Amino acid sequence: TGTALKKLSKPAEKDYQAVYEAIAEKLEEGAENYDDGSFGPVLVRLAWHASGTYDKETGTGGSNGATMRFAPESDHGANAGLKVARDIMESIHKRFPWISYSDLWTLGGVVAIQEMQGPTISWRPGRSDKDVAACSPDGRLPDASKDQRHLRDIFYRMGWNDQEIVALSGAHALGRGHPDRSGYSGPWTFSPTMFTNDFFKLLLDEKWQWKKWNGPEQHEDKKTQSLMMLPTDMALIKDKSFKKWVDIYANDQEKFFEDFGNAFSRLLELGVPFEEGTKPMRFKTLNA
């Protein structure tokens, strides 16, 4: 029958579009009392933390493998709170058991960016899951308490340049810090469930002061004291080579969307051994 054949044959773009839509429908389901009403930001963070462990010298880490399913990687400090996102992905996997977790988690990031009005992200399937032995060592993801030297150490290790580091950092338009996860508190922008270039605009336009509290050192905007910047975010305007791109992206949302879209797509592919000829897919949003 048709259904039996479908399971045996290689999934096609329409099968991934169906997974896309299932994830998109979950973004706000049951999120009425969660953060700002959407699981989108935490899904973006899962996709990024699954991918950002890549080391270009050894070819280890990256989204291939989905090794954050296992301790120790799930217990790394940087991954605190991502169980929320993995649990949502688990419910999707029950409906589409043919997709690898590593494809699913990266696709989740694509869905979240697009549904929150961000750019279209090209995405390719082909990741396979690995076992616990492939877990990344702790310390590969950035530490928010550090400065520009640390940002370069971490991102150059993955193969990025300064422009791309700034573009990727623009994802902090989304979501917030959670005191029970990272220790940091508050959103970066006034619209944390909408993908915009506001992170860059606010970074330049607001006056930022140290927040007086018992938590980790972070900045707050002087005017409303409701927004935050991490020390690593502030490093983007302290460092000349980074600030150049903050200025550009603050003034040109279209350029930011294009550069972010390309970089995010590549981020999700670091270290992935795609089959030759695997074509990039571009998914339609729910509203399209």
Residue 178 annotated in active site: no
Among 26, 45, 76, 152, binds ligand CCH (CB under 6 A): 45
CB of 281: closest distance to ligand CCH in angstroms? 20
3-state DSSP assignment of residue 20: helix
CB of 47: closest distance to ligand CCH in angstroms? 8
In this structure, the number of other CB atoms found within 10 A of the CB of residue 210 comes to 9
Question: Binding of ligand CCH at residue 65 (CB under 6 A)?
Answer: no
Q: Which stretch binds ligand CCH (CB under 6 A): 11-19, 40-48, 64-72, 270-278?
A: 40-48
> For 224, how many CA atoms within 13 A lie in the half-sphere containing its CB?
10
Token output for 227: 């927004």
Among 127, 152, 176, 219, binds ligand CCH (CB under 6 A): 176
Q: Which stretch binds ligand CCH (CB under 6 A): 118-126, 163-171, 207-215, 240-248?
A: 163-171
Query: Closest CB to ligand CCH among 98 and 139?
Result: 139
Question: Binding of ligand CCH at residue 152 (CB under 6 A)?
Answer: no
Question: Binding of ligand CCH at residue 46 (CB under 6 A)?
Answer: no
- Identified catalytic residue from 48, 105, 188, 245: 188
C-alpha span between 152 and 157 (Å, rounded): 8
Query: Closest CB to ligand CCH among 96 and 141?
Result: 141
Query: What are the Cα distances from residue 28, in Å, to 71, 77, 91, 104, 198?
Result: 28, 26, 14, 18, 22
- Amino acid 77 reads G
Asked if 172 and 192 touch (Cβ cutoff 8 Å), the reply is no
Q: Within 196-235, which residues bind ligand CCH (CB under 6 A)?
A: 230, 232
Asked if 207 and 166 touch (Cβ cutoff 8 Å), the reply is no
C-alpha span between 260 and 44 (Å, rounded): 13
Q: Within 82-141, which residues bind ligand CCH (CB under 6 A)?
A: none
Query: Closest CB to ligand CCH among 41 and 125?
Result: 41
Residue 123 annotated in active site: no
Q: Within 245-264, which residues bind ligand CCH (CB under 6 A)?
A: 264
Q: Which stretch binds ligand CCH (CB under 6 A): 12-20, 120-128, 171-179, 243-251?
A: 171-179
Dihedral of CA 79/106/65/270: which sign? negative
Query: What are the Cα distances from residue 17, in Å, to 8, 64, 215, 253?
Result: 18, 20, 42, 27
**CA-CA-CA-CA dihedral for 132, 154, 209, 253, to nearest 10:** -100
- Name the site residues for ligand CCH (rule: CB under 6 A): 41-42, 44-45, 48, 81, 142, 144, 151, 168-169, 171-172, 174-178, 181-182, 184, 230, 232, 264
Q: Which residues are the active-site residues?
A: 49, 188
